[in-house]
Amino acid sequence: MTEFDALIRILVAAILGAMLGLEREITQKPAGLRTHMLVAEGAALFMVGSILLSEQVETGEFAVIDPTRIGSTIVTGVGFLGAGMILRSGGRIQGLTTAAGIWVAAAIGMLVGSGFYIIGIFGTALCLLTLVGLRLIEQRLLRPRVAALLSEDEEESD
């Protein structure tokens, strides 16, 4: 991989992360544009760096360079970021979707950083469809029914 290829991978990952973050920003969630963009960009930087390092090191009969080892540590590190986004307030849990979005942004960065552009783009589109499309379904179909069920329960208890 050339350094130019590496730069393109990092840029594409940052753009895809920004797309996810923009959706979170528009819906006024805690982690938005910059967070998702930085997570995807950082994951891509780590993967690109790992690949470049593995290409530079000569391996002998007993030495093996495994670029996927850095990828596994990205998943662990992003878990800490996500855990910081999840809050319990009374009986409600908040931030779980945002934490999952950060996790997906890291996966997209890792994929694009490894050169799998189409999978990264598809993952971004699917994530946006999940966030936007399912929110519309929740708002139009599920919440009115839940509200109706709750009001029925209140009437029965009176």
pLDDT of residue 119: 96
d(CA 53, CA 61): 18
pLDDT of residue 14: 96
Average per-residue pLDDT in the chain?
84
Q: Picking from 54-63, 97-106, 128-137, which range would have the lowest pLDDT averaged per residue?
A: 54-63
* Residue 17 near residue 109, CB atoms below 8 Å: yes
Q: What angle do CA 103, 106, 112 make, to 5 degrees?
A: 145
